[in-house]
Structure 1
Amino acid sequence: MDVDAYLARIGAQRPAAPTAAALAELHERHATSVPFENLSVHRYEPIVLAEDALVDKIVRQRRGGFCYELNGAFAALLRELGFTVSLLAARVYRGEGRFGSPFDHLALRVDLEEPWLADVGFGRFARRPLRMTACEAQPDAEGEFLVLDAPDGDLDVRYNGEPVYRLERRPRLLADFGPTCWWQATSPDSHFTQQLLCTLPTPGGRVTLAGDKLIEHVDGKRVERVLAGREIVDAYREYFGIDVNEAPSPGVFPAAGPRPFPN
């Protein structure tokens, strides 16, 4: 991996040592530089869960991705910098006391003097890592987070009092997430096939492009406007640093079930 190129992509300096402070800086730089986006799903681009492919997409292509891509690449960067990293599977909260399927989400455990939860791939989430052994609220620029013990030895992560996901403690391999990643990117029942989304934190809040709607949260105020044609292309470049030749449009996914990616 070209570590210097990856660090330049997120505007970070190479840390002198793998410390908690260094992890926090890298995490925040990544979370505020690399957008959470699902353009590949709607442009029918294969999503390859291999570290070199993920890093190439983020660094050379200057794209973003969803959890498997963003946290998969970030884990590779951290390991190159001397951190001890494990991939963890999580089930996203779906409401009414229900959680999604295993491998619904990929998050990271980083072991230093104590274990830290790192997650740059959930969309709106903590900008800095969370202590995994703390029972008290952990303030962050995005809000207040809690990491609590859950049934069967799992951990529950809460954001502003609401459940976010249930996290396993067992380390996984990147390949373990392949089948669910494929389902998320191809099934008409997946949240990612139902909406075209690109979002990134900003110093004053957050900017999101949902289809043709540009939504800006600045100092607690929401401003929304509908874009068209070249305005959408320009918005991807201006707000997210993503170059597209034409305005992406949501894909059409067959109701019969998940489809294969084209060869």
Structure 2
Amino acid sequence: MDSTRTDAYLRRIGAARPIAPDLEALRELQWRHLVAVPFENLSIHLGEDIVLEGPALVGKVVERGRGGFCFELNGAFAELLTTLGYRVSLLAGRVMGPDGRFGIPFDHLALRVEARGTDEPFLVDIGFGRNSHRPLRLDERGEQPDPAGVFRITETKDGDLDVSRDGEVQYRLERRPRELADFEAGSWWHRTSPASPFTRSVLCSRLTGSGDRVTLTGRRLVTSGPGGREERELAEDEILPAYREHFGIELERIPEVHSRPSSASAHAGPSARR
């Protein structure tokens, strides 16, 4: 990624160019990305193509002012972090569903990041709503407090890593580094399968600067945080302005689900993962 596009990406998330690719800067970049760029699956319900290539993902976030789901958000962020001097690997994960079973292989994409000035790697994930707001120490096996909860990373008998929040497993990560192309099948499944949570509902969600979360699911606008939860149904003429006001997204038409399976989302939605 060239300097002009890097600067544009940093402006998009309201961050200054780091003096060095250290942990302090990584913490700031992760937080600002979570606040500025929404997690959303609008492309699925607008008939837009999703291209898992670095330049296309960055273009969606920077030039188009959009967000995306885990493959897009963490894929784009990996491009930015690598350009800034961090050592980044893509990790494949399987999300724990509400039925207590893990999802399909390549269900989730997270990042292993090495920062200057420390010998330990960090887990960075801006594409999973109930994950930490700050980088987690990937080799630490004790509790790691975070504004989003208390996290713990434990090793399974097969050598994978379970990431837990407040005692509940969120997802299981492989340690082997992957390429973006490895996630094509998982991305396709989530975009097309009736069993995918992303085909069941239209979702757009982000953190606010105060740490609350604002989420628009269909016509339901929800703001939740330590102070409580507010929810209201929007009229049809309020939906596009809500995308613009709360997420900075300009749409020409309302994204709609044409077929809505009945089971609940395991990977998205304020009452589930995102």
Aligned mates of 1:238, 1:125 — CA distance in 2: 25
Equivalent residue for 2:113, pick from 107, 110, 113: 110
Q: Which residue of 1 aligns with 2:65?
A: 62
* Aligned-pair Cα RMSD in Å: 1.4
- 2:253 maps to a residue whose letter is E
1:133 equivalent to 2:139? Answer yes
Identity, % of aligned positions: 57
The answer to whether residue 253 in structure 2 is matched with residue 250 in structure 1 is: no
Distance 2:193 2:234 in 1: 27
Alignment of 1:8 with 2:15, yes or no, is no
SS at match of 2:94: strand
Q: CA 1:96 to 1:40, structure 2 compared with 1: closer, same or farther past 3 Å?
A: closer
In structure 2, what is the Cα distance between the partners aligned to 1:99 and 1:52? 31
Q: Distance in 2 between matches of 1:245 and 1:197?
A: 17
- The runs of 4+ residues in structure 1 deviating greater than 4 Å are none
Give the C-alpha shift of residue 127 in structure 1: 1.1
What's the CA shift for 1:44?
1.2
Deviation at 1:96, TM superposition (A): 4.7
Establish whether residue 26 from structure 1 lines up as the match of residue 29 from structure 2. Answer: yes
Amino acid at match of 1:15: P
Q: What are structure 2's unaligned runs of at least 5 residues?
A: 262-274
Tell whether the 8 Å contact from 1:116 to 1:132 is kept in structure 2 after alignment. Answer: yes
Q: Encode CA deviations 1:123-177: one digit per residue, 9 max, x unaligned.
A: 2321111001112211111111111111211110001111100000000000000
Give the distance between the partners of 2:101 and 2:130, measured in 1 at CA.
Answer: 20
The verdict on how the C-alpha distance between 1:177 and 1:204 changes in structure 2, with shifts beyond 3 A counting, is closer
SS for the counterpart of 1:99 is: coil
Q: C-alpha deviations, 1:194-219, integer Å up to 9, x for none?
A: 01101111214111001100001143
Matches of 2:178 and 2:68, distance apart in 1: 20
The residue that corresponds to 2:45 in the other structure is: 42
What is the aligned length?
254
Q: Does 1:194 align with 2:203?
A: no
Tell me if structure 2 keeps the 8 A contact 1:204–1:217.
Answer: no
- Which residue of the partner structure matches residue 54 of structure 2? 51
- Offset from partner CA, 1:23-43 (integer Å, 9 cap, x none): 111111111110000000111
Residue 232 (structure 1) aligned with residue 234 (structure 2): no
Specify the SS of the correspondent of 1:12: coil
